Chain A
Amino acid sequence: MEVTIEQVRVLSELQGLKLPEEDLNNVALRLSTWLTAMEQIEAEMGLQMNDVDPIPPVFPREEF
């Protein structure tokens, strides 16, 4: 997924964050990379992801 500089500008402003021009490309590149990775993860694991709850492993309960 490619996030454009303009999309970054608008989305940031929606949450009250005004980014300087010199940072927009950097932020767009980072976000594009993570969202692209998520698309690949969905393609590989998406069906199984439907079957688990998004519980953070903050209090390990395994048998170990």
Chain B
Amino acid sequence: MSDPSQELYYLSASQQARLIKAREISPVDLMKASLERIEKFDATLRAWITVHAEQSLEQARKAETEIVAGKYRGPLHGLPFGVKDQMHALGFPTTLGSRVLDDDEMTSPYDATVIRKLSEAGAILIGKQNLHEFGKGGTMKFPYGQPRNPWNPGYDASSSSTGSGIAPAAGQCSFAVGEDTGGSIRGPASCNGVVGLRPTFGRVSRYGGVMAAYTSDTFGPLARSVEDVAAIMEVMAGHDPNDPLSSPRPVPRYTQSLGGNLSGMKLAVVREIAYVDGIHAEVRKGFEAAVEVLRGQGAVIEEISLPWAKWAVPLQLLSADADVASWFLANYLRDRYDRFDPGTRTRLAAASLIPASVYNRAMRARRLVRAQMLDAMRRYDALITPTNITPPRLIEDTREKIEDRGEVVSRLIVRRIAHYPFSLSNVPAISVPAGFSEKGLPLALQIAGRPFGEATIFHVGHVYQQATDWHNQHPELEKTLNTAAQTDA
């Protein structure tokens, strides 16, 4: 049997790019391989909502012509990618994974800035990817099909950039762009066994995105290696006049920060996240093994306490969710309530009732929680935790069915505890594959850095990937999907 990691569709985007640049493969070969994977497996995986196959092939032929003519644009030239269907792309409907919009309301008015930049760099947009409704998480019934984990389709692929985690994990594209308000890139990256970055707020333009948590929304890449994510960020990042909250800071050459070891670096394990009540024993074991790998690469690793991190989940929900709810109250919630998924509409309805006085106090508390986080960042180069505190769960166990207060805490707070402290603080955080559960489902390491410290967390993540092989392991879909089908029968 051939080694799956050597299949063209499972090479990292950086490896694919090197082959394209050397003209050992054509963008057309790669596009065909990606489209075949979508055609073959997406009836089960449901990573995609809209795919424009013919248009993508035509663009791949054009890229091939350019490259043969010596007009190589750079390391994204000819690479197929997808985006969470929460951002506009001309020619594609923006469904937002919802039945709330009428067909004529889904027309994209322009390209999101990230899509324009990636296209100018030569990457080819295949299509739009499945998501939890409006990117909010908690969807009970998906209008465009139930997304499934490629490692075992009975299991959850996380929220809310769900398809953007599945697709690169399944070899259906070279990379994806997701959106992370609370943990919506890192969760899917962790559950599907790929790398996912939540950038510093302001590092990547949000223009063209349909979201309303203006204090927390970020676009970021998901791909099969840290090197890929660094290369993609060199293109995606930067100031955009259309997004007044995007930063004017110059964009570093992130790929140049990769290499070497971790000598001289100080990392900290955040106790309140890494050892929180309810953490799964296999996650803890996998995380401790990852810590030892980092230590073996020369890092000094200590344990710290961030006692206010435990408040990040309610504070984010009391503030960012209230911002979102205020937008939806003015748009759709009053007059189309019954067209929302029950998981989305109850979350929005509750957030719409948060008093302004409470919102104000929550925003004050966010500053304190963030200050505690940044104080730790002054003493350490990066903070590390597991990305999720449980391995991926069965799909039916992840639905936010709320019938008593205990379920609110267990379903809404505990599962987010590893993500929200960094989202609330608006610092960059990356999820890197770090082993497997006993059931063969992915586990992951999260590395968080200082504001605009992406280069540092790329360096740590890349060193980890050079010392491990987790990112080179990929689901054998013929096997996993067939096994599931037999189990279901």
Q: Spell out A's residues near B (CB within 8 Å).
A: 3, 8, 11-12, 15-20, 23, 25-27, 29-35, 37-38, 40-42, 44-46, 48-50, 52-60, 62, 64
Q: Is the beta-carbon distance between A31 and B354 smaller than 8 angstroms?
A: yes
Instruction: Identify which of B62-70, B230-238, B337-345 touches chain A.
Output: B337-345
- Of B80-88, B103-111, B152-160, B308-316, the stretch lying at the interface with chain A is B308-316
Q: List 16 A-B contacts (CB under 8 A).
A: A12-B353, A19-B337, A19-B349, A23-B346, A23-B349, A26-B403, A29-B405, A33-B314, A37-B311, A40-B311, A41-B365, A49-B364, A55-B367, A58-B201, A59-B245, A60-B200
Interfacial chain A residues near B358, Cβ < 8 Å: 35, 38
B215→A30 contact, CB < 8 A: no
Q: In the bound complex, what is the Cα–Cα distance between A50 and B364 (angstroms)?
A: 8
Q: Does B450 contact A (CB under 8 A)?
A: yes
Report Cα–Cα, A31/B352, bound state, in Å: 10
- A-B contacts besides A29-B404, A38-B361, 9 pairs, CB < 8 Å: A29-B407, A31-B354, A38-B358, A45-B308, A53-B364, A58-B215, A59-B247, A60-B451, A60-B452
Contact of B368 with A52 in the complex, beta carbons under 8 Å: yes
With A41-B311, A60-B452 known to touch, is A54 a contact of B364 (CB < 8 Å)?
yes
Interface flag for B256 (CB, 8 Å): no
Q: Check if B329 sits within 8 Å of A30, measured CB to CB.
A: no
Q: Is the CB of A45 within 8 A of B408?
A: no
A57 engages B426 (CB within 8 Å): yes
Residues of A within 8 A of B247 (CB): 59-60
Residues of B within 8 A of A55 (CB): 363, 367
On whether the beta carbons of A20 and B361 are closer than 8 Å, the reply is no
B100 interface residue per 8 A CB criterion: no
Q: How far is the CB of A60 from chain B (nearest CB, A)?
A: 4
Encode contact with A along B344-372: 1 for CB under 8 Å, 0 otherwise. Answer: 01110110111000101111111110100
Distance in angstroms between the alpha carbons of A56 and B426 in the assembled complex? 10
> A60: nearest residue on chain B (CB-CB)?
B451
Q: Are A52 and B367 in contact (CB under 8 A)?
A: yes
A17–B352 CB distance below 8 A: yes
Residue of A nearest to B349 (CB): A27
Which residue on A lies nearest to B315, using beta carbons? Answer: A41
Q: Which residues on the A side are within 8 Å of B334 (C-beta)?
A: 16-17
Residues of A within 8 A of B368 (CB): 45, 48-49, 52
CB-CB < 8 A to B362: which residues of A?
38, 41
Q: Is B377 an interface residue (CB 8 A)?
A: yes
Contacts of B367 in A (CB 8 A): 52-55, 57
B314 touches A12 (CB 8 A): no
Instruction: Decide yes or no: A30 and B412 within 8 Å by CB, A57-B367, A64-B377 being known contacts.
Output: yes
> Given A17-B337, A27-B346, A58-B214: A8 and B363 within 8 A (CB)?
no
- From the candidates B202, B311, B360, name the one contacting A60 in the complex (CB within 8 A): B202
**In the complex, chain A residues whose CB is within 8 Å of the CB of B57:** none
CA–CA, A34 and B347, complex, Å:
11
Cβ–Cβ contact A62 & B314, under 8 A: no
